[in-house]
Amino acid sequence: MRGKVALITGSAKGLGKMTALTLARSGCDVALNYVHSRREAEELRAVIEGLGVRSIAVQADVSDTGQLEHLVARVESELGSPDIVVNNAGPFIRERKRFSDYTQAEILSLIQGNLVGTMLLDHLVLPGMRTKRWGRIVHFGFGHAAESRAWPHRAVYAAAKTGLVSFTKTLAVEEAPYGITVNMVCPGDIRGDNKEKTIAEVAGLQDGETPRGRPGSGEDIARVIEYLCRDASDFITGNIMDISGGLDPIRPWIGPADHGM
């Protein structure tokens, strides 16, 4: 993927950071995006440039249309039009509460950041991809998002992401003739420092919630995204991929101990 331009939202830390490093090692020039984590973004930019590719770090809130336009304009002027867009950024409220307890501001923020902002960013980059007749768009969801099941205490986030499932499949069909693929990756419950760890670093750790038995890592997600972005992956589009070690975030796993085994 030498010379491809990859734009990754929310990429100063966590899963976005691991994705940025993975694509940079594959030869991509990388546009990092952050809202508050300027120091981390600039440090990562320096690391990526040390890999022999170009990189910039741009502050922008994906829920703000004007800032999205500024983000894409900066990328186009300094690196070129994006060939790869990974929509990683999106607000999440970890506190569990019923829909009736959300404020209107929280509802709008979750929908705007997880659905509308992603759609608008895709809309901004599609003309350049169509001109080149090549593009890779990756959305982020959650485990079993494609089933549109009830998720109590996550009503707004779930609604935004399941709406994004439909949009992913529709956009994949519409843009396939232009050589553009659109897929969604759905990480398991990868928390804290594990978001920036490799598979080898978590291989010896135990996770009683995940059927696989180990926690997920940032590499688990980034390596799938890198595969989807390859030139020869052009026949993979419109897919919703669970990368969760078998974990169902909505219904807890019933392990052997629960059956008295």
Chain centroid, CA 45 distance in Å: 19
* Contact partners, residue 149, CB within 8 Å, separation at least 6: 250
- pLDDT of 109: 94
Q: Is residue 258 part of a domain?
A: no
- pLDDT of 204: 85
Task: Determine the residue type at 173.
Answer: V
Q: Is 244 exposed, middle or buried (0-12, 13-18, 19+ CB in 10 A)?
A: buried
CATH number at residue 127: 3.40.50.720
What percent of the chain has pLDDT above 70?
Answer: 96
pLDDT tier at 259 (50, 70, 90 boundaries)?
A: very low
Strands (E), 17-166: 29-34, 55-59, 84-87, 135-140
**Which of residues 148 and 68 earns the better pLDDT score?**
68
Q: Is residue 101 part of a domain?
A: yes
Q: Which of 116, 159, 165 is nearest to 139 (CA)?
A: 165
Task: Determine the residue type at 237.
Answer: T
- pLDDT of 211: 86
Q: Is residue 139 part of a domain?
A: yes
Q: Is residue 48 part of a domain?
A: yes
Tell me: pLDDT of 186 over 70.
yes
Q: Is residue 131 part of a domain?
A: yes
State pLDDT tens for residues 122-172. 999 999 999 999 999 999 999 888 888 888 899 999 999 999 999 999 999
Per the prediction, the chain carries an average pLDDT of: 93
pLDDT tier at 254 (50, 70, 90 boundaries)?
A: low
Buried b (16+ CB within 10 A) or exposed e, 154-181: bbbbbbbbbbbbebbbebbeebeeeebb
- Helix or strand holding residue 17 (H, E): helix 14-25
Q: Is residue 252 part of a domain?
A: no
- pLDDT of 261: 41
Q: Is residue 153 part of a domain?
A: yes
- Report the domain count for the chain: 1
